[in-house]
Structure formats: structure tokens, C-alpha cells
Amino acid sequence: MSRARKLLQRGFDRVERGFDLIFGPEWNPLAQLGPLGWLMFWVVAGTGLYLFIFFDTGVHAAYDSVEWLTNDHWFHAGLARSLHRYASDLMVMVMLVHIVREFVNDRYRGKRWFSWLTGVPVLWFVYISGITGYWLVWDRLAQYVALVSTELLDAVPIFAEPIARNFLTPESLSDRFFTLMVFLHIAIPLMLLLMMWIHIQRINEARTRPPRGLTLMTLGALVVVSFLLPAVSQGPADLATVPQTIGIDWFFLSLYPVIEMVPPGVIWTGVLLFSVLLAGLPWMPPRREADAAQVFLDHCNGCNRCVVDCPYSAITLVPRSDDLPFSHEAKVNPDRCVACGICMGACPSSTPFRRGAELVTGIDLPGRPLAELREEVIAAAAELTGPGRVLTLSCEHGAGVDAEPGRVVLPCVAMAPPSMVDFILSRDLADGVCVAGCAERECYHRYGRDWTEKRFARERDPYLRERVPRERVLTVWEGQTESGKLKAEVQSFSERLAAMPAYERARPLRPEDHGAPPADTTKADTTKADTTEAGKTGDAT
């Protein structure tokens, strides 16, 4: 399973790279599937409300009113009908690709189970909403959908009388039935909206709007298609006859020919098994994740940075539980923490310059603490030789996952505080630092790339200190299949570094720089300024 998933991940990455060339990383549709789904919902809801103004409820009035708005008012109401239809289809396509992509990228198990599980009802609500919408047109396709649907529903012993009997003759169908269908077609999307809202509750700053350019491009394409291929009816329904030839909407109604041929019991069993299997995927097998982040109150002042930066709403501020003179402290919800380490990189006390026998920060990863990361960086730097030494801090979900000299692989590059870059350069561990994260179009942990760039640009705490020469820091955002491109960029960066003069602030690493006791008291005192300075906020971190 793991090998097949890796192959599929690389396949998606290659396709997405192609979309990057067409749309650019920011507008890449495959990286904006969730926001596009929300956009399609609002397009469908808005056009649906507009169409309801012109729609007449009733067996005989429904079809005539739809034909009137389609033909006589094609330039606004007819356009709205077509937009309503094509946006619904696009929402289904976006939703299905989104499901497959999250599964392939393994973003549905472990602590992410909630979003996946709450997405299962969203899937069914979308389909039910679309099917009820086809009934309201009351053309031959609607008649076909109504007959097949009600016969399937009648196989479930929950109705006092068979529903399909309403469609036996023209006289058996009443206007009240259409009133019920209108109610369902309004109520079900409202329940869908509720489930979509629940679906994103465990995601901090969830994206529900695509970039403006992609939004305009998508809406423009829908309008063009709506004018070129307007949605039309397929002739009025006639319960006295059986439709012989109809056009199927394969996005919503692809299973209806199968439902006709297969016994209802088999269909219901298949639907139930599929739903249970889909809902149970996060536990088949469950994902083993590292231990959740841990707060150390002696080093936490309740500054709120870890809370704001956590992509999964796993950290909150609560009233202080110790005697330190701060009002709040950070608290981690282990059921939501995915151990990405972004909180550690956000903490102002996460600085490798700190001295002492043990390096402890305000919030740390038990399985990958800052003290261990500092030792990994020092060990990786020892592998570097020659001019233009480049130490790479790499994301495990990007291009730099292969073992290379001078490379440290992290759950997310935002796990490394900016002070780690300062530490590497000022302690002469390398001539330059490369931060290699996920592809620019999308970060695996959602905000790792954004937070890193803003920290380096001094737009978000903790800042990269002004004294750090930016020309010695390279950021590369490449996907899994772009390792060759990453190597080429690092090589070019190394050549530029080799041509630069030595970094004037660099000094050799000392034992006390990585937890060892100082060689003598004098040396410890002369370097105390570095410790104090690095422990401050803003420029210091």
C-alpha cells in the first residue's frame, strides 16, 4: 500500500507541475480543490435562489415555468439555469478529485480523521441535492429519475405506502408532491452547508475562497460554457408513457442505469458497505504519528504565537496553572496535534543559542526536541567540506527527502526557528543555508511555507534577525518529483557562496554551543551576550 501510494503521489505531483506551468502555483486548481468546492456551492445556491423567483410549483406549471425562463429570458434566467447545472457538475468533479488526492497524499488518517469522516455525509448530501433538483424540471429525464428513485426507496420498509404509486398515472401525482420536492431541494443544501462547516472545524484559518484570479477564471469559464451549451429540458414528462431515449447527466446519475438492472437489496447493501468502508478508511490501518507537542511552563509566557501558527487548531490559551507572573499558558490537545513542529518554530524561546546542560523551549516535540535538532544540524554540518558549504533544512514532503551530506529532514521546515539559520551561519557550520520545503502551490501542513517566508521577510514573529545576510539564505519550494531541480539550485547557490568573502560574524563552534560545559568561566562570560540577545523577541529570534 505504501509503495502504491508513493507512486500515486509522484503521479499527482507531475500532473500538478503541469498545471503550475499553465495557471501558476497560486492558481493551480488541484491545490485549490477545497476552496473551489466552496465556490461552486455558493454559485449553485445563488443561482438556485434566483431561479426560484421564476419557478412555479405544480405538476403542470413546473415544466412550463422552466421552459419560459430558459427560452424567453435566456440572457439572465436561462443563464442562471445553465450556471446552476454546470456548477453542480463541477462541484461533484472537484469533490471526487479532492477525496482521491487527500487519500493519495495520506492526509486522512491519524489526527486528520475528523475532516475525512465528516466529509462522507457531504458526499451524499451533494448527490441527493442534485437528484432532487432534476425532479423539479419535470421533463422526461425527471420522470425517469423519479421512477427509478422511488422504486429504490420503496425497497426500504419505512414508508406506509409505496412512493412509486404516485407516478403510475398522470392523475396520481399531486401538486403537493412538488411542494415537498421544493422543500427537500432547499432543506438538503442547508444540511449540506452545515456539514461543510463542521468539516473544516479542526482546521485553523481554513481556506474557503480560491484566489481572486482563479475565481474569476472559473466563473468566466462557466459563463462561456453556459452560453455555448445551455442547459435544456428533454420534453415534458408524461406518466402515461415510458421514456425510451433520455440524456443522462453522468456526474449525478451515472449509477441509475445500474440501479435499473440490479435488485434494490443489492444496491442498498452496496451503498451501505461503500459508506462504511469510506468512513472507516482512516483506521484501515490507523496511522502511527509522533507524540504530540509538549508545553514546558518554565519557558512559556503565554505569548499566543504557537496558537496562531498551528494549522490544526491543536493549541489554545488557558488560565495559568503555576506561580509564574503570566496570565495564560499554552495547552496542546493531543487528539489534534500531528507533530508538525510548526509551534516549536514559532516559540520565542526556541533558540539554539541558549546555553546550559539541557536546551528546553516553551513548546517542544518529545520525539524531535529542539536540543536534538541542534545536534543533528551540528552533525550534518560536519559532513560538509570545501568552499561554498550549504546546509539544507528540508521538508519530508518535498523534493529533499533523500539522504544527502549536510541535509537535515524535518516534518515541516517551519519547525526550525529562524534563529537556527542565524546559529548555523554565526557558528560557521556552513557558508549558507538552504530551506527546502513543499511545492510552492501547496504546503503539506498548510502554512509551513507561508510562515517561513514571512519570518524570513520579518513580517511575522519570530523574525530572522537583521544581522543575518539574506544572500546566504536560499528558500526552495519543490515537489517530490523535483529533486534534480533542488540539487541544481543548491549547486548554483554553493557556487555563489564560494565567490563571496567569508561571513564576518562567523566564529568557530564552541563546546558550550551545544550543551557541553564551557571550557572556562572567562569564555562562558564573554559569550553570555549571545545568549541574552538571542532570547529576546523580534530581531533577537
- Residues 263-306 pLDDT 10s: 999 999 999 999 999 999 999 988 888 999 999 999 999 999 99
pLDDT higher than threshold 80 for residue 535: no
Q: pTM value? A: 0.89
**CA distance linking residue 178 with residue 174, whole number of Å:** 7
The residue ranking higher by pLDDT, 515 or 486, is 486
pLDDT higher than threshold 80 for residue 541: no
77 near 69, Cβ under 8 Å? yes
Q: Which domains does the chain have, with CATH numbers?
A: 32-280 (1.20.810.10), 367-540 (no CATH)
Q: Could you tell me which residues come within 8 angstroms of residue 153 by beta carbon, excluding any fewer than 6 positions away?
A: 159, 163
Beta-strand relationship, 390-395 and 407-410: parallel
Location of C-alpha cell 462547516? 197
Residue 538: the pLDDT is 44
Residue 1: the pLDDT is 59
pLDDT higher than threshold 80 for residue 500: yes
Residue 116: the pLDDT is 96
For the chain, helix (H) and strand (E) counts, in that order, are: 18, 8
Average pLDDT score, the chain: 90
Residue 176: the pLDDT is 81
pLDDT higher than threshold 50 for residue 499: yes
Residue 532: the pLDDT is 39
| DSSP code of residue 78 | I
Tell me what the mean pLDDT of segment 311-331 comes to.
94
pLDDT higher than threshold 80 for residue 537: no
How many Cβ atoms sit within 10 Å of the Cβ of residue 534?
22
pLDDT higher than threshold 70 for residue 170: yes
Q: Among 158-162, 345-349, 415-419, 510-514, which is the least confidently predicted range?
A: 510-514
Residue 527: the pLDDT is 38
Residue 178: the pLDDT is 80
pLDDT higher than threshold 90 for residue 533: no
- Predicted confidence band at 524 (pLDDT cuts at 50, 70, 90)? very low
| DSSP code of residue 512 | G
Residue 517: the pLDDT is 57
**CA distance linking residue 511 with residue 479, whole number of Å:** 37
18-22 long-range contacts, Cβ below 8 Å, gap at least 24?
19/441, 20/439, 20/440, 20/441
